Amino acid sequence: MDEVTNMIKEIETHSRFPTGIGKIERGECELGARSSMACMFCSYGHMLECHYPHTCEEVRCSHWVEAWDDS
């Protein structure tokens, strides 16, 4: 395994969701994305968290909370 693959594996070990970039690299993206840049525009997660089939809002992920939560 290369260094990036090891870093992705380490991040996923401590996360409740797999990474978007990890799923794309492994060919597991349910939307068929082939580039990690797709995570930047995905409604179901982002580079460090993929929570397909749920949106960031539905799972209230840290990405969504930082951007929208006013509590």
Q: Please, are residues 52 and 45 in contact by the beta-carbon 8 Å criterion?
A: yes
**pLDDT at position 56:** 83
Provide the residue range defining the domain that includes 64.
3-68
Q: Which two tokens stand for residue 23?
A: 């799923």
For 10-54, the pLDDT digits (tens) are 999 998 899 999 999 999 999 999 998 999 889 899 899 999 999
Q: What is the rounded distance in angstroms from the CA atom of residue 9 to the CA atom of residue 58?
A: 25
The answer, yes or no, to whether the previous bond of 53 is cis (omega within 30 of 0) is: yes
Q: What is the DSSP string of 33-54?
A: --SGGGGGG-TTEETTEE-TTS
What global pTM score does this model have?
Answer: 0.78
Domain total for the chain? 1
Mean pLDDT of 1-9: 88
